[in-house]
Amino acid sequence: PPDVEVLGRSTWTFLHTTAAYYPEKPTPHQRANMISLIRALPLLYPCSNCALDFGEDVKVNPPDVSGRVGLSRWLCERHNEVNAKLGKERFDCSLEKTDERWKDGPRD
């Protein structure tokens, strides 16, 4: 079976980075593709517990694919749900913090 921690870190990197660089004003086609990507995860993610809980969370909290600001926040909140479940620290979901981590790097 896959290493759930390595898989998780890699998947979060992919998802948060993709959200950080998602357009400010996506086309309907880009929005539809992002919804497909998110909705595919609970069906395909090779950690069945993770997939099941994530699927439930996404059902209760529908993806905000309106633009990179909304998507970055939505995804950060979903990641915080997993953090809470695993007893990990919550992340500050302000755009400043998500961009610093996943787009711009720390400012000095």
Alpha helices in the chain (DSSP H): 4-20, 28-44, 48-60, 68-85, 95-99
Residue placing its CB nearer to ligand FAD in the complex, 67 or 91: 91
Q: How far is the CB of 2 from ligand FAD (least distance, A)?
A: 11
Name the closest residue to ligand FAD (Cβ): 8
* Min separation Cβ 3 and ligand FAD, Å: 9
Question: Sign of the CA dihedral 79, 82, 88, 90?
Answer: positive
- Write out the residues near ligand FAD by the rule CB under 6 A: 4-5, 8-9, 11-12, 16, 41, 49-50, 53-54, 76, 79-80, 82-83, 86, 88, 91, 98, 101
Which pair of tokens denotes residue 28?
A: 């309907």
For residue 34, what are its two tokens? 């992002």
